[in-house]
Amino acid sequence: MKSIIVTGCNGQLGRAINKQLGSNSEYSLVNTDVAELDITNIDAVMKLAREVRPYAIINCAAHTGVDACETELDKAYRINAIGPRNLSIAATETGAKMIQVSTDYVFDGFGDRPLTEFDKTNPQGVYGKTKLAGENFVKEFARNYFIIRTAWLYGEGKNFVKTMLRLSEDHDMVTVVGDQYGTPTSASELAKAICYLLPTENYGLFHGTCEGSCNWAEFAEEIFRLAKKDTQVKHITTEEFGAPAARPAYSVLEKYMFKLTTDFRFADWHDAIEEYMKTLL
């Protein structure tokens, strides 16, 4: 049986990975979260890797508080950059495959066409900068790696979908940003993609989001439609919302590498959110 170390196992993606692989007799999951493994501590990472001798390391751990990263610079770099570096060093020593999850925030969002893996990165905030640093460390220290950039993730845990449903309980109208475009992505769909790549040697950088695109306000409207809620959505600008950290205005990711090198295809975001909503309602 092949052992797989999963970091951030209690997060949305970590839980989705467990659902995908938990019943697979080929793999044995070694689940860790911050209580079990401090990925920023190279000694702790090496100790676990030497004990487990994993087939793969799937890093679902991250400091994802986009606004918090602006003031928690050291913490963001430790978790989002040093953590992947440590895991990559351990993967190389033990012969494991390294799977790193990254983000659309590595782009500036100034364009108006879907971004491929070959487009130039230019992160505008600390979150994006630290995640890009993590990507670069993986490329530098891991021998066999998959880097998968995703966006607007929702699954089992705290997320935008649940926030909107909660607000709809006592609000007739909610205000949501309408000038940031991306792709809502089911953690289940992303987990399927990771599990598709896992046994292959098709290494490299991939974009991993559902198909299609929308803005946040349109996403909220679709959530309310599926939930049969009468809550109205007022579209506001990013400037009006006033978040501390810069967000990409347009960060729709084209799954170019998946399309060039595999027959795997992500679900359309409308279909994926409809499936997810069935688990909530």
Write down the catalytic residue from 127, 154, 250, 276: 127
DSSP secondary structure of 68-96 = HHHH-HHHHHIIIIIHHHHHHHHHHHHT-
Q: Is 127 a catalytic residue?
A: yes
Q: Burial of 144 by CB count in 10 Å (0-12 exposed, 13-18 middle, 19+ buried)? A: middle
56/102 Cα distance (integer angstroms) = 17
Residue ranges of the alpha helices (H) in 159-201?
Answer: 160-168, 187-197
Residue 47 corresponds to which tokens in the numbers above? 């100790």
DSSP secondary structure of 234-278 = EEE-HHHHT-SS---SB-PBP-HHHHHH-S--PPBHHHHHHHHHH
- Known catalytic residues are 127
